[in-house]
Chain A
């Protein structure tokens, strides 16, 4: 079972602490939601785990199925990332095929797996020939998910995977991620600013504020019965028509 553990992760940019002593564990079959506003440091954590940014201190330990720590070179076979903006995360110059075949080859798999990968994310095999500009936002994000799965990764970092998509297709993409997580027994870090989807699509929630985790626990505990004042303000700020009409509020 592949497990990723983050211990005391800290990152400072030009004397500003973006991430301050953050620890958590991503375990197979579980989704951890990292919730916070822009600038809270949640994307920096994603980029550190994806090895795009070097931590100032702290460690990221990946334990393989054999119970042994995974060496540096094999890290990317196991840990992959889904980016926020599907319009920016696919290279406009290349076909869908290129986007999937390259990671397959880099991780010692055959490019004949491309149709199978597309099928996994509910796209047909003929999408392989298309270029990003011929796809809708939702289709692009499905391709991006397929790319993350291509190396056979068991730990997926999803950085705001639906915030750039149209509202009516967001749930579809999140449900796809949830299904894949169950089928493949993935460990998922779901980064979002949206408390509602965090609650519905995760087992554990971490609330970040100014680089620190201010509250953590099961998603129901943290989001329905928040203890920390910041989490309470966040929960209260979300638009809530229910309060207006069900409980006979003002008109």
Chain B
């Protein structure tokens, strides 16, 4: 777990306030003692001054803090139990139970809570409004939001394979919920509990401030109620009305900070991260003797993830891509092939950093481009096709907008009808009906989406296209169609391709040259034919042996 400054501050502050509420009342004397000194500003005798009736504000504050915390915890526990029942149990049971529970939660969610609480409090005679009654009403009106969050999470956990595995093992339903699902919900339950406590303390304060709180209870809200009715504001007795609100705000802030840290635990993307000043460490422009046939030359490229322990993801890689050539980049997960591909286009994300080397495109160094020059280079000279076409397309706009975007940025002079014509043209090139321009990504099949991505990559006639596992997520038959399409387009339009995949047989069939990567290094770089017939590196041989042939001797692999 990360011990962030936010979490430390939040926990420290919350602990201090809880301690104050627990121990304070024992040290500060009786808050009810009335003195005939009236409203006194803070001084040596009374650190936070006195109220209109001469009661010590500090003593009142300690008692009120305890009262508010008690209500908060009470409501927090009850609301969490309710949200657990309606959220977790409903989602796990599924079917009609889930429908009914979820409808009930949603209805409770949209009915405004505080007005309802006020109405209920208004009907209950003041002498019968106890702390428990108020807590119960607050819990009943405050659990629904948490139930919705828990339901969504449970629905997702329920379909996990480890839940299915536990059922196949013969585990009983209650055990699956308690032992397999519940532990994984703990961070969310904790965060929802904290949230319920904050909400309860705030609501109770509001209610008490309006004079509708529990009878005889002493909370921060009742303190403010008396301050308001004692005209503390008009008498400028800030020591009377500022401290209770401040305690609520600090406690709420502390719990919110704790929640924030829990969010960061649940969702690692939110964790603090220093912003990278540059993506490329000042690299001395190397004059690379350029092969006249080369379109892209990578020389001694090094990429390092600058984490606590730096990870050298790409080590001294040198590659040459010739015009119209297909260069295959093979390797397993974590070998650095994707990092390399992104670094070529300077798309690598922090903390990755190019530490040395050069990327020469025709006759200029990509690593030395200024931001605007880089933007003009991207897609015009070099376009990309990514693995997950579903995630690579913006889910909320039609594909037309995403194709037009490219032309609007790089061909500012082009008219809208001309853009439309060009978009239709590239779609036809990849075998997609231009009528689908108005479709949203989710309305297309996986293969169709990947075709659209390729069409988008073709829009500006780039010299180079980088394809990162473009067919991995697709079925064999669709993969075959897309591969044939790529070969045909390459032959027609003569662009060069860097094709990245873990599937070595596919590269052997498709590429002109292949680089095999392992642990950031290119261990073998040869023509496809040499690599297939005369593999030199043991790792290449191991990879080749990992793909049994469909037509070879059967049963040879079982030893």
Q: Verify whether A and B have any Cβ pair under 8 Å.
A: yes
Residue positions of A touching B, CB distance < 8 A: 37-38, 47, 50-52, 76, 80-81, 83-85, 88-94, 102-103, 106-107, 144, 147, 150-151, 166-168, 170-171, 174-175, 178, 193, 195-197, 199-201, 219-220, 223-224, 233-245, 251
CB distance from A164 to the nearest CB of B (A): 10
Which residues of chain A are within 8 angstroms of B502 by Cβ–Cβ distance?
A: 166-167
Contact of A147 among B169, B533, B550 (CB under 8 A): B169
Which residues of chain B are within 8 angstroms of A106 by Cβ–Cβ distance?
A: 169-171
Q: Are B548 and A37 in contact (CB under 8 A)?
A: no
Q: Known: A103-B169, A200-B556. Is A244-B508 also a contact (CB below 8 A)? A: yes
Q: Known: A223-B550, A244-B508. Is A52-B162 also a contact (CB below 8 A)? A: no
Q: List 20 A-B contacts (CB under 8 A).
A: A76-B169, A80-B169, A84-B161, A88-B160, A88-B161, A89-B162, A91-B162, A94-B179, A168-B542, A171-B557, A175-B558, A200-B555, A200-B556, A201-B558, A223-B550, A237-B480, A238-B476, A244-B509, A245-B533, A251-B529
Which residues of chain A are within 8 angstroms of B167 by Cβ–Cβ distance?
A: 51-52
Q: Are A199 and B184 in contact (CB under 8 A)?
A: no
Q: Are A196 and B547 in contact (CB under 8 A)?
A: yes
CB distance from B511 to the nearest CB of A (A): 10
CB under 8 Å from chain A, chain B span 503-527: 503-506, 508-510
Residue positions of B touching A, CB distance < 8 A: 160-162, 164-171, 179-180, 183-184, 332-333, 475-477, 479-480, 483, 502-506, 508-510, 528-529, 532-533, 542-543, 545-551, 554-559
Q: Known: A37-B475, A178-B558. Is A239-B509 also a contact (CB below 8 A)? A: yes
Q: Are A237 and B509 in contact (CB under 8 A)?
A: no
Q: Known: A90-B162, A103-B169. Is A168-B546 also a contact (CB below 8 A)? A: yes
Which residues of chain A are within 8 angstroms of B551 by Cβ–Cβ distance?
A: 224, 240, 242
Docked CA distance A150–B166 (Å) = 12
Q: Are A91 and B180 in contact (CB under 8 A)?
A: yes
Q: Are B169 and A151 in contact (CB under 8 A)?
A: yes
A-B contact count (CB 8 A): 150
Taking chain B's interface residues, is the majority helix, strand, or loop, or is none over half, making it mixed?
A: helix
Which residues of chain B are within 8 angstroms of A245 by Cβ–Cβ distance?
A: 508, 528-529, 532-533
Q: Are A234 and B477 in contact (CB under 8 A)?
A: yes
Q: Are B550 and A235 in contact (CB under 8 A)?
A: yes
Which residues of chain B are within 8 angstroms of A107 by Cβ–Cβ distance?
A: 170
Q: For residue B183, which residue of chain A has the nearest CB?
A: A93
Q: Are A241 and B554 in contact (CB under 8 A)?
A: no
Q: Known: A83-B161, A167-B543, A200-B548. Is A102-B556 also a contact (CB below 8 A)? A: no
Q: For residue B533, which residue of chain A has the nearest CB?
A: A245
Q: Are B550 and A51 in contact (CB under 8 A)?
A: no
Which residues of chain B are within 8 angstroms of A83 by Cβ–Cβ distance?
A: 161, 164-165
Which residues of chain A are within 8 angstroms of B184 by Cβ–Cβ distance?
A: 91-93
Contact of A144 among B165, B509, B557 (CB under 8 A): B165
Q: Known: A83-B161, A241-B509, A241-B532. Is A102-B550 also a contact (CB below 8 A)? A: no
Which residues of chain B are within 8 angstroms of A76 by Cβ–Cβ distance?
A: 168-170
Q: Are A196 and B542 in contact (CB under 8 A)?
A: no
Which residues of chain B are within 8 angstroms of A200 by Cβ–Cβ distance?
A: 548, 554-558
Docked CA distance A198–B460 (Å) = 43
CB distance from B257 to the nearest CB of A (A): 25
Q: Which 5 pairs from chain A and chain B are nearest by CB?
A: A241-B508, A237-B480, A89-B161, A93-B183, A239-B506
Docked CA distance A241–B547 (Å) = 11
Which residues of chain A are within 8 angstroms of B477 by Cβ–Cβ distance?
A: 37, 233-234, 237
CB distance from B556 to the nearest CB of A (A): 7
Q: Are B162 and A102 in contact (CB under 8 A)?
A: no
Q: Are A193 and B550 in contact (CB under 8 A)?
A: no
Further contacts, 12 of them, CB under 8 A, given A37-B477, A167-B504, A237-B479:
A51-B168, A88-B160, A93-B180, A102-B171, A166-B333, A171-B546, A174-B557, A199-B554, A240-B550, A242-B549, A245-B528, A251-B529
Docked CA distance A219–B476 (Å) = 19
Which residues of chain B are within 8 angstroms of A251 by Cβ–Cβ distance?
A: 529
